[in-house]
């Protein structure tokens, strides 16, 4: 009997939270939609205004707020008015139209380099630092051949935001349980 009452209270609390979330999201003003490399970013990761993105320092603003990539890893930034795009007959549909749309593209300097047990390795599929930040489990999908997620002892992400060397990529450094046996083994 007590379990049933607790379950009903929990359900009521959950429904109340859902209703409040929906109501607050319906009453808030439309935000700017930021898309990097085809992936919409939540405001919690990057919140910028259309005026900031139209300024000469837009790349620096994005790099600083993301805290993941250097400004030179951002290839381009385009800004659009959502109303303008809809009026022009673009095939865009939104549940809740954004105020503005910002589309950014990164270059290869945003791609993660992979260092496994001290050696540079090629991943199964390319992964950018933005992909990683939005969904860290994508690392397991991109692991180089022969590496299993269960073999990983540690994984660290290195970013070179303030490094003056432009060729520095964000790097994932992985240490595994098993290292490849040495070919030059002496007995």
Q: What is the largest CA-CA distance in the chain?
A: 76
Candidates 180, 178, 161; CA nearest to 170 is 161
Number of neighbouring beta carbons within 10 Å of residue 172: 22
pLDDT of residue 26: 44
Residues 14-59 have pLDDT tens digits of 655 565 555 444 444 457 788 888 888 887 788 888 888 899 999 9
Asked whether 112 and 158 are in contact (CB, 8 A), the reply is no
Asked whether 172 and 112 are in contact (CB, 8 A), the reply is yes
Question: How far does CA 150 lie from the centroid of its chain?
Answer: 24
- Is the pTM higher than 0.85? The answer reads no
**102, containing H or E segment:** strand 100-106
Residues 138-184 have pLDDT tens digits of 888 899 888 888 888 998 888 876 666 666 788 889 999 865 554 55
């Amino acid at each position: 009997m007590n379990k049933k009452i607790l379950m009903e209270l929990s359900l009521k609390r959950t429904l109340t939270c859902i209703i409040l979330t929906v109501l607050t999201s319906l009453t808030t003003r439309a935000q700017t939609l930021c898309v990097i490399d085809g992936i919409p970013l939540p405001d919690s990761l990057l919140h910028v205004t259309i005026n900031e993105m139209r300024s000469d320092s837009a790349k620096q603003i994005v790099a600083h707020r993301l805290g993941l990539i250097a400004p030179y890893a951002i290839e381009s930034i385009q800004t659009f008015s959502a109303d303008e795009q809809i009026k022009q007959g673009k095939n865009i549909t939104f549940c809740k139209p954004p105020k503005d749309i910002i589309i950014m593209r990164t270059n290869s300097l945003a791609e993660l380099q992979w260092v496994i047990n001290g050696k540079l390795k090629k991943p199964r599929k390319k992964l950018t630092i933005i992909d990683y930040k939005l969904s860290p489990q994508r690392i397991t999908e991109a692991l180089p051949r022969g590496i299993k997620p269960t073999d990983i002892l540690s994984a660290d992400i290195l970013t070179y935001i303030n490094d003056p060397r432009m060729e520095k990529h964000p790097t994932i450094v992985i240490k595994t349980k098993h290292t490849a046996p040495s070919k030059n083994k002496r007995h």
